Chain A
Amino acid sequence: MAEKDKDLLDNIDGEYKYGFTTDIETETIARGLNEDVIRLISAKKEEPEWMLERRLKAFRHWQTMTLPTWAHLDIPEIDFQDIIYYAAPKQRKKLGSMDEVDPELKRTFDKLGIPLEEQMALAGVAVDAVMDSVSVKTTFRETLAEKDIIFCSISEAIREYPDLVKKYLGSVVPHTDNFYAALNAAVFSDGSFCYIPKGVRCPMELSTYFRINAEGTGQFERTLLVADEGAYVSYLEGCTAPRRDENQLHAAVVEIVVEKDAEVKYSTVQNWYPGDKEGRGGIYNFVTKRGLCREGGHLSWTQVETGSAITWKYPSCVLLGDNSVGEFYSVAMTNNYQQADTGTKMIHIGRNTRSRIVSKGISAGKSQNAYRGLVRVAKGADNARNYSQCDSLLIGDKCGAHTFPEIDSHNPTAVLEHEATTSKISEEQLFYCNQRGLSTEDAVGLIVNGYAREVIAKLPMEFAVEAQKLLALSLEGSVG
């Protein structure tokens, strides 16, 4: 594998691999945001009236809100009127089969290593591919339908399954939650919807790949995942964007409902364009992710964050039901001028609820990397338990690592543990690896992967291999 990784490094020459753009006719609307734009988005999506009403309500609320500034981030001013809120690859008609997908679009996803057909079939993964504002193609729907699993774009779900959407959309992350969640609720254009019925174990990994292509656009996707009583699903999410000098805004919301005794594993490999070595360009990634666990529910977040110029993201678990379990495993790596403020919230409400946090930050170059976490134990959460481990690894002496853990316990029976370490890759480690014939770059990749192993091991196999390569790649040029 070392050999393969090395080849990969040589071939790519340290540059962002997914920085190409697709030359495809795109339908966009004018820049700016007002109620008419929201009506237009809703109309383009052929949405029912109730959805438009929800959007307008969110928009009106958003207008009363101010940008959050508490994160350890230096965010340049964002002009929300200078963003295109809807862009879609032009297609002649609605898709019936794979053959009708624009070949250029198909090539894009092939290039990203996400073939929409055969290979994914072999790997047993069902994919929803979202480019700019629309879902391009969802695979394996028929296979899933046999088990009554719904896996489709959120736009389609709004039209086809209004009762489910009405019941669950906004139930975990209401539009009043925060600035970016409100904006998303107003303008979200697409995303994935997934419903696993009672007692069903989803037979394959479900996966959504997000791709920003068009210039000047923002991407606001919305993911809603519902695991009904006793259901199980493992869900993967990947994202890439072209290399551009401008900054592009990405403000997504992911909501997960884990009903009684259900289990959801949600894995993300976030690789949005991080900007160049001087810090020009890159995605601003402001994401709200939260899951709600009912009695005996189990939600596990795993994330590998290597992309984006700015990351603001706290996948959280609300442990509402008794005996529910929340987990958060994270590797966040920043290089060059990237900034990340990421972590989790574990809200213990039910009795005997348990949570576990393992966060591994890696800072290189001139980047700033912060872990921010909250463990809250409500009054009635008897015997709640949390274990938190926050590690930071520094590469070089111009980067920063910060941790902001907060514990807020209102129940004396709670047992909360917190461990934190900060370390550097030592000269001795590098010398030792060099002396065994490893180049310094390979040695750093190896040491970082070893450091992140506990988290990477939580990812599904294909993703784990991908993540390992990504970590090594993102470190290019950070040593020496």
Chain B
Amino acid sequence: MLSVKNLHASIGDKEILRGINLEVRAGEVHAIMGPNGSGKSTLASVLAGNEKFTVTEGSVEFMGQNLLDLSIEDRARMGLFLGFQYPVEIPGVTMANFMKMAVNEQRKFRGEDPLTAGEFLRLMREKSAIVELDSKLTSRAVNEGFSGGEKKKNEIFQMAMLDPKLAVLDETDSGLDIDALRVVATGVTKLHTEENATVVITHYQRLLDYIVPDYVHVLYKGQIIYSGDKTLALKLEKEGYDWLISKEE
């Protein structure tokens, strides 16, 4: 589904990703961990097409297409979803209106008719239940005045609405209390199928108690320096990154 080969990317003169290799197949869950500043969020942004970053080398294939040739919106319409670490506010635009546009753009891309108002409302009700999102939030402006927990739930709600092939969740667990973490994480798990894939970027093992990864990768200084199964996350939780980093240097 996703094949990243020797990906290099920089912001200004500063190279942040320095040769990433990553294979993600349908049905898999990958966790990307690593110390602060190692390039985890940059990887998510580059995959989504954020123009702040320049790809200088390497290739990314997504669903059989050269991802790097596609616009941000076409990547999204093809089924690439980014769960934001800091979701932005869009004053005056209701979540319902925002999602209606997003869902219908995706349908149009696939050559499907837009949803009727009734169909859309049904879909919204069904999906907001997955993350226990108060249905009142959908009539409020996008992320405006949402609490930290609500914002993160709202990201997963949008993921549920858009039913992506590949979801990249950037520190979806940051700033969540235990209850919200459980809701968000079980939401992600419910959405997981054999046809889609999830990449979770996180600092903490606790998220991985709910979202059990098939692979855990450690990103350090713009490269994946070590990969393992879910037990790697437990080891990292206990021992930190030092044993890996010193081996590297």
- Write the residues of chain A forming the contact surface with B, with a CB cutoff of 8 angstroms: 1-3, 426-429, 431-440, 442, 446-447, 449-454
Contacts and interface: CB of A to CB of B under 8 A. Distances in A.
Interface residues of B, number: 34
B93 A446 contact: yes
Contacts of B138: none
B141 A450 contact: yes
A429 B92 contact: no
B98 interface: yes
A434 B72 contact: yes
22 contacts: A2-B105, A3-B114, A431-B48, A431-B50, A432-B87, A432-B88, A433-B90, A433-B98, A435-B82, A436-B98, A436-B102, A436-B105, A436-B158, A437-B77, A437-B102, A437-B105, A437-B109, A442-B105, A446-B97, A449-B92, A449-B93, A450-B92
B145 interface: no
Given A2-B100, A3-B104, A447 B93 contact: yes
B93 A437 contact: no
A439 B220 CA distance: 34
B108 interface: yes
Given A435-B48, A435-B72, A446 B101 contact: yes
B73 interface: yes
B162 interface: yes
A434 B76 CA distance: 8
Given A431-B50, A435-B82, A439-B73, A454 B92 contact: yes
Given A3-B114, A435-B48, A436-B76, A452 B102 contact: no
Given A437-B106, A437-B162, A450-B141, A432 B90 contact: yes
A228 to B, nearest CB: 37
List 8 tightest A-B contacts by C-beta distance, closest first: A450-B92, A450-B93, A434-B72, A453-B92, A2-B101, A437-B105, A436-B102, A437-B76
A452 B92 contact: yes
B76 A426 contact: no
B228 interface: no
A270 to B, nearest CB: 21
Interface of B: 48-52, 71-73, 76-77, 81-82, 84, 87-88, 90-93, 97-98, 100-102, 104-106, 108-109, 114, 141-142, 158, 162
Contacts of B48: 431, 435
Contacts of A433: 90, 98
Interface of A is mostly: helix
B160 to A, nearest CB: 13
A290 B46 CA distance: 55
B109 to A, nearest CB: 7
A439 B102 CA distance: 10
A451 B91 contact: yes
B119 to A, nearest CB: 14
B24 to A, nearest CB: 18
A450 B90 contact: yes
Contacts of B109: 437
Contacts of A2: 100-101, 104-105
Contacts of A429: 88, 90
Nearest to A436: B102
B101 A438 contact: yes
Given A432-B87, A437-B102, A438-B102, A451 B73 contact: no
Given A427-B52, A436-B158, A437-B109, A447 B72 contact: no
A440 to B, nearest CB: 8
A330 to B, nearest CB: 15
A433 B158 CA distance: 12
A3 B116 CA distance: 12
Contacts of B105: 2, 436-439, 442
Contacts of B76: 434-437
A439 B101 CA distance: 10
Nearest to A432: B88
Contacts of A453: 92-93
Given A427-B52, A446-B101, A450-B141, A434 B92 contact: no
A434 B73 contact: yes
Contacts of A454: 92
B48 to A, nearest CB: 5
Contacts of A446: 90, 93, 97-98, 101
Contacts of B84: 432, 435
Contacts of A442: 101, 105
A452 B162 CA distance: 27
A446 B106 CA distance: 17
Nearest to A2: B101
A427 to B, nearest CB: 7
Contacts of B49: 434-435
Nearest to A4: B114
Contacts of B142: 450
A452 B84 CA distance: 26
Contacts of A427: 52
B91 to A, nearest CB: 6
Contacts of B104: 2-3
A442 B84 CA distance: 20
A328 to B, nearest CB: 19
A431 B86 CA distance: 12
Nearest to A440: B73
Contacts of A439: 73, 105
Contacts of A435: 48-49, 72-73, 76, 81-82, 84
Query: Which of B73, B81, B102 has the most C-beta atoms of chain A within 10 angstroms of its own C-beta?
Result: B73
Given A434-B73, A446-B101, 17 more contacts: A3-B104, A431-B48, A433-B90, A434-B76, A435-B48, A435-B76, A435-B84, A436-B98, A437-B162, A438-B73, A439-B105, A442-B101, A449-B92, A449-B93, A450-B91, A450-B93, A451-B91
A434 B84 CA distance: 13
Nearest to A452: B92
Contacts of B141: 450
Contacts of B87: 432
B73 A437 contact: yes
A438 B97 CA distance: 12
Contacts of A440: 73
Nearest to B158: A436
A279 B139 CA distance: 40
